[in-house]
A = this chain, B = another copy of it.
């Protein structure tokens, strides 16, 4: 994380107080404290709870005022009515950032709205940045800071910014399960202070982040959002529901933000080069492709597969997305005809059939090198050694299915090398289409 923005107390604090830390394992005040400790936070952790002497073997403080020194970050899980005073105590103590988990603010009616305004005023007075309220916290795996739940620590290149804590947690969990991880996670909640514009700026400047995955039901501040999106040098993928009237109503009820007309958003996304996902899996897939792969130089696509059926499914989606499943150049075709067993049909998709093995994939990809802008490599069988077929300096997108335990092992090896693997031909091709449109260009070799 950079220190160039003023969110360093939120993302890379030297010390953390957990105000409203609890002794009851079923309470968030316990779970968050435990997650911060178990994620391996290196600095001091101060649980604050006037009724406990120690929680999880960490000595407990009766108030933030009683903590020695000044914690940089306070994670706050106290009843909503106590939040403004708690923030004031934090400010007086010199705390620089606050993550307010507690609900009961603008999402719950006029009294909550008043409390939220008060909380924001206090934070502003003390020049504290605040995430939330009514949120699922922040996770920075590069700083051992899991001020959120569930406990996930896997490091990677996707930044997750979300109005929904569950959406954020689901993405981070999928990334951890696949062994690719995230660069950071922020559940924004009611966005009283820190919002998507701040976080786009922050993660755009963060060296670990290579793509930003954003779930919003409505932007907080249109012009600021568009400025941040326009300035960002990294791909932004957004999932924004509210295409239907029912969805829009549900969104406005959920976060009390104006969801707005979908066409307005759609137009803005298009104008500012924001990649729009239609589903949660697409939000994940597109972010994964954009974070871990470079933009191919064009649309000419070679599909290489051991499964004719998967080749057909891929070609269908690719063509629908405007990718060019182009005929094989004659030079490549004759080279392949000469080297492949004679019952092979040399074509695009190139079906290596059930006889395929990793050697055959290697030979074919080497022969086709340079003749296409990108290759979709579909392993549709238990192909041992599949992970060794893929070369990072060639534009290749990998899909693996139907390989059971071999697939899981080779997928693990590929993800460990930073090569993303997609689970079906359709999801892979949809992601590839976004990569062609929104991908980061290949870095020029230095002279």
Residues of A within 8 A of B (CB): 26, 28, 103-104, 107-109, 112, 136, 149-152, 162-170, 173, 176, 215, 217, 239, 241-247, 249-251, 253-255, 278-281, 306-313, 315-320, 325, 343, 345, 347, 349, 351, 353-355, 357, 380-382, 401-407, 423-427
In the complex, are the beta carbons of B401 and A170 less than 8 A apart? Answer: yes
Name which residue of chain B comes closest to A357, CB basis: B26
CA gap between A168 and B380 in the complex, in Å = 11
In the complex, are the beta carbons of B169 and A402 less than 8 A apart? Answer: yes
Complex interface: chain B residues within 8 A of A136 (CB): 354
Name which residue of chain B comes closest to A245, CB basis: B319
Once A136-B354, A403-B150, A405-B150 are accepted as A-B contacts, the answer to whether A315 and B247 lie under 8 Å apart by CB is: yes
Name which residue of chain B comes closest to A281, CB basis: B424
Complex interface: chain B residues within 8 A of A357 (CB): 26
In the complex, are the beta carbons of B355 and A243 less than 8 A apart? Answer: no
Known: A165-B309, A168-B402, A247-B319. 15 other contacts (CB 8 A): A103-B343, A107-B345, A150-B405, A162-B309, A164-B380, A173-B402, A173-B404, A176-B404, A241-B316, A244-B320, A247-B313, A247-B316, A250-B349, A253-B345, A254-B351
Name which residue of chain B comes closest to A251, CB basis: B312
24 A–B contacts from the bound complex (CB under 8 Å): A103-B355, A108-B345, A149-B381, A149-B382, A150-B404, A164-B312, A165-B354, A166-B307, A167-B307, A167-B402, A169-B381, A170-B380, A241-B313, A245-B319, A246-B316, A246-B319, A247-B317, A247-B319, A247-B320, A254-B312, A254-B349, A254-B351, A255-B308, A279-B424
